[in-house]
Amino acid sequence: MPHVIFAGECGRLEGRYHDHAGVKDAPIALVLHPHPQFGGTMNNKVVYNLHYAFHRMGFNVLRFNFRGVGRSEGEYDQGVGELADAAAALNYLEQLNPNARHCWVVGFSFGAWIGMQLLMRRPEVTGFVSVSPPANMYDFSFLAPCPASGLIINGSADRVAPPEAVEGLVAKLKEQKGITITHEVIEGAGHFYEGDHMDRMIGKVEDYVTRRLKENTR
């Protein structure tokens, strides 16, 4: 998978880009990693598996390190700078794929919070996947209204992003008209989907995204 460097607000950002050569209108997906100050990187297992799942479904996919992580320049910026990094990454991905049919934003944990903010600012985003959004730690009230339909998925044994907090977020989003929020719970899974919980989570994501893509081609 090609290692890429692209320009961000704070300097160079490091990423991994995986495409389908010769497919000019492949959909695109941006995958965002968990909290930089708690070991989150683009090589996190959940992020890695999400990246490859989207590629298997025909997407050209980019994941990258937020500022201050790996070879990305800059320092952690309380989510403000990280949102700017995500916007720069999406700009880069769109420049590589000017004819993309669909645009998805995918985030895990802290990355889910950043991803949901990004889709509020980018009307071209047609779908999202938020894995274990930490609704107990961060304010998601900016999703008023949420501009796109998407999947929220979490584990029933998650102690970092407790199920009741995620359920509260889902309930608020489902009150909104014009979008459809799908919620899946992986029974017994913790925050990082250890063991066979990873395969079950990825399977739910693939089922959902595949269905959405089929609906959009009718």
Question: What is the CA 7 to chain-centroid distance, rounded?
Answer: 20
User: 3-state DSSP call for residue 141?
Assistant: coil
Record the tokens describing residue 132, joined without a space.
Answer: 């274990």
Each residue's pLDDT tens digit, 139-171: 999 999 999 999 999 999 999 999 999 999 999
Ranges of each domain in the chain: 3-216
- Please provide residue 45's backbone torsions phi and psi, each rounded to the nearest 5 degrees: -60, -40
Cα end-to-end distance, the chain, whole Å = 32
Domain 3-216: which CATH number of 3.40.50.300, 3.30.420.10, 3.30.390.30, 3.40.50.1820: 3.40.50.1820
The predicted model scores a pTM of 0.97
Each residue's pLDDT tens digit, 84-116: 999 999 999 999 999 999 999 999 999 999 999
